[in-house]
Structure 1
Amino acid sequence: MGGRNTYEYIRLNLPGSVPSITSVDGSITKAGGKIVEGEFRYDALSDLQISNNYQLAVCSEDCTGVIQKVVYDASTNTFIGFSTPLDHGVPVPQFFQTDSYDQLKEWFENEEKSNLLNVHMLELLTISKSSSTSFLLGAYGITSKFNSIDVLRRWLWIFERSRISNIRILAFATDCDPKYLRAMRLITGFFAKLPNIPISERNDVLEVKLPKNWSSWFFMRTRQLFFCFQDPVHLCTKIRNRLLSQSASMFIGNGKISVDVLFDLINNQSKLIHGLVKTDVYPKDRQNFSSCAKISTDDVLSALNNVSDSYATQIYLRLVRSIILAYIEQSTSILDRIYHSWITVFICRLWWAWLQLTDVEEISTEYQDKNKAFFFITKAAYHSIEINAHTLLSVVLLVCQHDLPESALSITSFNSQICENIFRLTRAMSGTFSSNVNFTVGQFLRRAGKLSVLQDIERQNEHNLSECSLQFPKHHKRRHRKDMSINNRLDVSNNILTQNTIEKTIHRAFDDAYKMLSVLGIDVILVREHRNALNELSTYVRVQIENTSHTTDFSENWNGYSDDESDSEEDNVHDQYDVTSESSSEDEADELTNNSGHKRSQFKGLRIFKEIPASQSNSYFRINVDGNEKYMHKQTASWLLTDNKPTLSADRLQRVQKRSR
Structure 2
Amino acid sequence: MCSRNEDILLDVTVLPKDIFERVDHKFYDVVKSVAGDSLAKILKIQLINSVGKLLNTPDIFAFFQYDSEETDAIKLESCFKSKTGQFIVKPGIQSSFSYFINLLNKALKQKQELAPNENTENYSNYITDEFLDNHPLLKSLIKWYRLNDLNGVKQTNQFLVSFIDNLINNCTQSPNNFRHSESIKNFAICLYVLGGKQTYEFIRLNLYGSIPNLTTLGELIKNSDTAFSEAEFNFESLRQCHSQFGFCSEDTTGIIRKVEYDSKTNSFVGFVTPIDHGIPLPKFYQANTFNELRTIYETNEIASLLNVHMFQSIPTEDNATRIPRPLLLSAYGVDNKITAINVLNRWMYIFQHCLDQNVRIIGFSTDADRRYVSAMRLASGFFASLSDLQFDKHQHAFKINVPTHWKWFFLRNNQLFLFFQDPVHLVTKWRNRLLSTTTDLRFGTDKITITHIEALISNDHYTKLDHGLTMKAYIDKSTSVRERVQLAWCVVFVCRIWWSWLKINSFSSSSRNHLDEINTLDLEQIIADAYNQAIDIVHHSKMLQELKQNDIIDLKTLSKFVFDSLRKSSKMFGYSSRVTTDNNEELESDDDGVDEDESASSDDEDELYDELLNFENDDYNDEEEILNSTRSSFDGIKIVDNINPTLKHSYFKIKINDKIKYLHKQSACWLLSNKSTRLSSDRLSRVMQQTTHISS
Alignment TM-score, normalising by the size of structure 1: 0.63
Q: 1:518 & 1:14 partners in 2: Cα distance?
A: 63
Q: Which moved more, 1:645-654 or 1:335-344?
A: 645-654
CA shift in 2, pair 1:211/1:154, >3 Å: same
Q: 1:29 & 1:84 partners in 2: Cα distance?
A: 23
Show the counterpart of 1:372: 507
| Contact 2:627 2:655 (8 Å CA) reproduced | no
Q: Secondary structure at the match of 1:83?
A: coil
**1:37: Cα distance to partner?**
0.8
Q: Secondary structure at the match of 2:653?
A: strand
Q: Secondary structure at the match of 2:225?
A: helix
Show the counterpart of 2:436: 245
Q: 1:622 & 1:192 partners in 2: Cα distance?
A: 55
Show the counterpart of 2:37: none
**1:600: Cα distance to partner?**
6.3
Amino acid at match of 2:222: T
Q: 2:557 & 2:201 partners in 1: Cα distance?
A: 71
**1:266: Cα distance to partner?**
5.3
Q: Secondary structure at the match of 1:213?
A: coil
Q: Which of residues 383, 388, 400 is equivalent to 1:191?
A: 383
1:56-75 map, 5 Å: 56-75=245-264
| Contact 1:175 1:231 (8 Å CA) reproduced | yes
Aligned: 1:202 with 2:394: yes
**1:6: Cα distance to partner?**
7.3
Show the counterpart of 2:550: 529
Q: Which of residues 597, 607, 611 is equivalent to 2:638?
A: 607
Q: Which of residues 297, 300, 303 is equivalent to 1:108?
A: 297
Q: Secondary structure at the match of 2:224?
A: helix
Q: Which of residues 480, 484, 487 is equivalent to 1:337?
A: 484
Amino acid at match of 1:508: D
Amino acid at match of 2:225: G
CA shift in 2, pair 1:71/1:357, >3 Å: closer
Q: Deviations over 1:166-211 (max 9, x none)?
A: 3222221111111111111111111111111111111101210111
Show the counterpart of 2:673: 642
Aligned: 1:539 with 2:560: yes
Q: 2:363 & 2:507 partners in 1: Cα distance?
A: 33
Identical positions, percent:
36
Aligned: 1:97 with 2:117: no
**1:139: Cα distance to partner?**
0.7
Aligned: 1:620 with 2:643: no
Amino acid at match of 2:422: D
Show the counterpart of 1:657: 688
Q: 2:542 & 2:366 partners in 1: Cα distance?
A: 37
| Contact 2:425 2:591 (8 Å CA) reproduced | no
Q: Secondary structure at the match of 1:507?
A: helix
Show the counterpart of 1:357: 504
| Contact 1:79 1:97 (8 Å CA) reproduced | yes
Q: Deviations over 1:442-474 (max 9, x none)?
A: xxxxxxxxxxxxxxxxxxxxxxxxxxxxxxxxx
Q: Which of residues 25, 32, 35 is equivalent to 2:218?
A: 25
Show the counterpart of 1:34: 227
Q: 1:264 & 1:176 partners in 2: Cα distance?
A: 29
| Contact 1:197 1:556 (8 Å CA) reproduced | no
CA shift in 2, pair 1:621/1:568, >3 Å: farther
Q: Which of residues 264, 272, 294 is equivalent to 1:83?
A: 272
Aligned: 1:133 with 2:325: yes
Amino acid at match of 2:527: I
| Contact 1:37 1:93 (8 Å CA) reproduced | yes
Q: Deviations over 1:188-235 (max 9, x none)?
A: 111111111111111101210111111x32111221111222211221
Which of 1 and 2 has higher RCO (CA within 8 Å, sep 6+)? 1
Q: Which moved more, 1:248-257 or 1:84-93?
A: 248-257
| Contact 1:74 1:619 (8 Å CA) reproduced | yes
CA shift in 2, pair 1:16/1:643, >3 Å: closer
Q: Secondary structure at the match of 1:33?
A: coil
Amino acid at match of 1:629: I
**1:645: Cα distance to partner?**
2.7
Aligned: 1:44 with 2:179: no
Q: 1:653 & 1:37 partners in 2: Cα distance?
A: 28
Q: Secondary structure at the match of 2:405?
A: helix
**1:165: Cα distance to partner?**
2.5
**1:141: Cα distance to partner?**
0.7
**1:243: Cα distance to partner?**
2.9
| Contact 2:248 2:312 (8 Å CA) reproduced | yes
CA shift in 2, pair 1:67/1:19, >3 Å: closer
**1:79: Cα distance to partner?**
0.7
Bigger Cα Rg: 2
Q: 2:208 & 2:428 partners in 1: Cα distance?
A: 52
Aligned: 1:219 with 2:403: no
Q: 1:346 & 1:122 partners in 2: Cα distance?
A: 32
**1:570: Cα distance to partner?**
5.3
**1:157: Cα distance to partner?**
0.9
Show the counterpart of 1:174: 366
Amino acid at match of 1:346: F
Q: 2:689 & 2:478 partners in 1: Cα distance?
A: 37
Q: 1:527 & 1:10 partners in 2: Cα distance?
A: 67
Q: 2:588 & 2:538 partners in 1: Cα distance?
A: 34
CA shift in 2, pair 1:567/1:638, >3 Å: farther
Show the counterpart of 1:407: none
Q: Secondary structure at the match of 2:326?
A: strand
Q: 2:564 & 2:652 partners in 1: Cα distance?
A: 64
| Contact 1:114 1:143 (8 Å CA) reproduced | yes
Alignment TM-score, normalising by the size of structure 2: 0.60
CA shift in 2, pair 1:79/1:357, >3 Å: closer
Amino acid at match of 1:98: A
Aligned: 1:553 with 2:573: yes
Amino acid at match of 2:574: F
Q: Secondary structure at the match of 2:560?
A: helix
**1:246: Cα distance to partner?**
2.9
Q: 1:4 & 1:254 partners in 2: Cα distance?
A: 55
Q: Which of residues 504, 512, 516 is equivalent to 2:525?
A: 504
Q: 2:486 & 2:202 partners in 1: Cα distance?
A: 57
Q: 2:332 & 2:454 partners in 1: Cα distance?
A: 44
Q: 2:367 & 2:204 partners in 1: Cα distance?
A: 43
Amino acid at match of 1:357: I
**1:517: Cα distance to partner?**
2.9
CA shift in 2, pair 1:536/1:113, >3 Å: same
**1:34: Cα distance to partner?**
0.5
CA shift in 2, pair 1:570/1:66, >3 Å: farther
Q: Which of residues 250, 255, 265 is equivalent to 2:446?
A: 255
**1:49: Cα distance to partner?**
2.2
Please list every run of 5 or more consecutive structure 2 residues that lacks an aligned counterpart in the other structure.
Answer: 1-190, 578-583, 595-625
CA shift in 2, pair 1:627/1:29, >3 Å: closer
Q: 1:75 & 1:148 partners in 2: Cα distance?
A: 33
Q: Secondary structure at the match of 1:271?
A: coil
Q: 1:508 & 1:9 partners in 2: Cα distance?
A: 55
Q: 1:16 & 1:521 partners in 2: Cα distance?
A: 70
| Contact 1:72 1:80 (8 Å CA) reproduced | yes
CA RMSD, 1 decimal? 3.2
Q: Secondary structure at the match of 1:170?
A: strand
| Contact 1:144 1:568 (8 Å CA) reproduced | no
